[in-house]
Amino acid sequence: MNQDKIKAAAAALRQARATRVAIPRISEQFGIQGADEAYAVARCNSVQDIAEGRRVVGKKIGLTSQAVQQQLGVDQPDYGVLFADMEFLSGSEVPASRLIQPKAEGEIAFVVGRDLDGESLSWGRFLHGLEYALPAIEIVDSAIQDWKLTLVDTVADNASCGLYVLGLEPRAIGTVDFALAGMDFRKNGHTASVGSGVACLGNPLLAAYWLAGTMLQLGDPLKAGDVILSGALGPMFPFLAGDHLHLSIAGLGSVDCRTA
């Protein structure tokens, strides 16, 4: 793996985020090829973020829609890192000025209650390790011009992480049918996206299980208190500063925010 091109691509993405100016595909600019090189670019920036004092509080899962996977020619999701300064709570004013070209997705978030480490992770142990579920608005954001992404570009750009907003009323894992949980996501009072849990790998729990197993294999297991954004329940949509976003998910309640 050519470390010079990895570092150059990471620096370009970092500069784009700092200046809020989107750039052409780094896959083409720097010859970044395949998921391994893309994750290396993302790790390069995450390591620098942590060195500068940002705190990791969880992970997000992307590409959970089979239609999107087929479009990008992949057979599994991707993941990105969530930092503490990305998190907002329902009712907050979210700063659009921190973003480049944001879009909103309705998701189910899980909170890990026990470390998901060890040599292996069974389904039962995984379920035992999840404490709560919450409705969540993920504000995705891309540093790549016009959202014209390849798999490599979104992975390298920390899975297009932006910000996220969590609901205030956690539900116990066993009280919700996540696959059948219907979503109604509104912008300024008008429905902008609808969907359900089945759109997220068939069940958001399966997406979270994939993530937990993947992170265990990579030697970076999920820990107690980590937040998992499990993937979109319906299509994402763009918004502008001043818009009001309100998400309702059956069995989980609602979460809302205003952008500024």
DSSP character string of 110-157 = EEE-S---SS---HHHHHHHEEEEEEEEEEE--SBGGG---HHHHHHT
pTM over 0.75: yes
State yes or no: pLDDT of 119 exceeds 90: no
Distance CA 69, CA 231 (A): 13
Task: Name the CA radius of gyration of the chain, rounded.
Answer: 17
Q: Is residue 20 left, alpha or beta, with left meaning phi > 0 and alpha meaning psi from -120 to 50?
A: left
pLDDT tens track for 217-226: 999 999 999 9
* Secondary element (H or E) of residue 68: helix 66-72
**pLDDT value of residue 179:** 97
Q: How far apart are CA 150 and CA 188, in angstroms?
A: 31
| Span of 5-14, 58-67, 186-195, 202-211 with lowest mean pLDDT | 58-67
